[in-house]
Homo-oligomer: A and B are copies of this chain.
Amino acid sequence: MTERRTITPPHRYRNNDKAVGVGNAFWDLSERNGLAGITAELEDGEPGVLHTEDGHEFTNFTCCSYLDLDSHPKVIEGAVAALRRFGVLDHCIPRTRVQLPALPELEASLGELFGAEVVAAISAGVASAGLLPLIASGHLGNGVRPLMVFDRNCHVSMAAAKPTCADETEVVTCDHHDLGFLEDMCARYERVAYVVDGADSLGGYAPVRELAELQEKYGLLVYYDDSHSISAYGERGIGYIRSHCPVLDERTITVATLNKAFGTSGAAILLDGYPKDTLRVVERFAGALSYSQPMNTAAVGASLASAEIHRTEELTVLQRRLRANIELFDRHISTGQSGTTFPIRVVSMSDETVMEAGRRVYEAGFYVSPVFFPIVARGTAGLRVMLRAGQTEEQIRGLCAALAAVGAQQAAPAEATR
């Protein structure tokens, strides 16, 4: 028998050997230090406080439910009410054929709330996997097949679509927020689409105003995932991008999860200036949006309830509490994000000490997540902290003390007593 063929992979856009090789070591080390693979139940009535089966209690400082709406009684009761009203989690048939009124009601409510045409998706990842190839082929946009420029740091849920987009158009990756490169491409290509996080998972916002200039000048299409700022930021929780982007027409497409500050599950695609025909194309051809299960009725009911909260003063109060908690943290611990509105802080540690530091902070009763080389660049390791509206002053002071005890840089005295 002749020798059978082995394969050399192209690895143009992805490389599992590298991803698994690097990532698995990171996760194994995290797990050996007790900072991954934790199973824990939430304490009744104490948002974000969990206990493990063996009795360790900790406050979660790596949860993206920035307003603690996930445990809001009205959100839970909204889910229950929808289950009872519709009588099913889902009535399995493509929504393009027959659908319960659940999704249309949710889309109408979110559309009114955010001032956009809204299409629901089961997750922001599924939304991006469905939308980006339609953008690549020009079916979502102005009809012209664009050069797709992916920001080097854009979330993996978007970066994962590169090979698929590359079968419909040209795809390139640019340096983080490289406006010069983008303008250069805009000058060379008839149409360019830029794919970027609205709010980064390590803290920071997209340069929305500078991008708007390119949108106005060249017709650049920008695809934002604004999952980390929706609800937490802006009037009625409209998010960072839609608060600051002056271009709200076919050139700006935003997706946002409902799983973070919004407090439920599912995702919303926010569109402006597209005719009904195009919205139908999205429903029918945006990948899993057309062929897979939709948000279930429990998620829809919870989301309708959360949307109602977004329409009241309660949202402003929660946003204010989140802001106050961020400021309280900044008065004690100094980070590259100090002074910003972003709910994420990365507390610098050395690559060698970060894991041990995370373990000690966890033992002190606070879960923060270590990031280090090769997950982030050498010399930028740290403990990632997420602030929430529901954390108490005592919990935040306790975390800051625990961080200081493992060598975190403390804020200058003027800051600390401000």
Contacts and interface: CB of A to CB of B under 8 A. Distances in A.
Contacts of A353: none
A307 to B, nearest CB: 14
Contacts of A27: 96, 280, 284
A243 interface: no
B76 A83 contact: yes
A152 B101 CA distance: 35
Contacts of A414: none
Contact of A89 (B19, B292, B299): B299
Interface string A27-54: 1001000011111111010001010000
Interface in A278-305: 280-281, 284-285, 287-288, 291-293, 296, 298-299, 302
A88 B302 CA distance: 10
Contact of A147 (B7, B71, B100, B265): B7
A343 interface: no
A13 interface: yes
Given A5-B188, A137-B16, A287-B160, A88 B101 contact: no
A299 B83 CA distance: 11
Interface string A67-98: 00011000110011001101111111100111
Contacts of A360: none
A16 B367 contact: no
B288 A123 contact: yes
Interface string A1-32: 00011110111111111011001100100100
Contacts of A101: 39-41
Nearest to A28: B280
Copies held by the complex: 2
A274 to B, nearest CB: 14
B292 A157 contact: yes
Contact of A60 (B15, B93, B167, B264): B93
Nearest to A66: B92
A125 B126 contact: yes
A133 interface: yes
A358 to B, nearest CB: 11
A415 interface: no
Contact of A133 (B14, B40, B293): B14
Given A123-B293, A144-B6, A96 B62 contact: no
A137 B167 contact: no
Interface string A217-228: 000000000000
Contacts of A64: 92-93
Contacts of A40: 98-101
A16 B90 contact: no
A325 interface: no
Given A84-B76, A164-B164, A298-B89, A97 B4 contact: no
A264 B9 contact: no
A104 B95 CA distance: 31
Given A39-B100, A39-B104, A169 B7 contact: yes
Given A6-B189, A23-B284, A122-B123, 15 more contacts: A4-B189, A9-B137, A16-B168, A20-B284, A23-B285, A38-B98, A40-B98, A64-B93, A76-B84, A92-B260, A129-B129, A157-B291, A160-B287, A163-B164, A298-B299
8 contacts: A7-B145, A9-B169, A39-B99, A60-B98, A70-B91, A79-B89, A80-B84, A157-B288
Ranked 4 nearest A-B pairs via Cβ: A298-B298, A16-B137, A125-B292, A64-B92
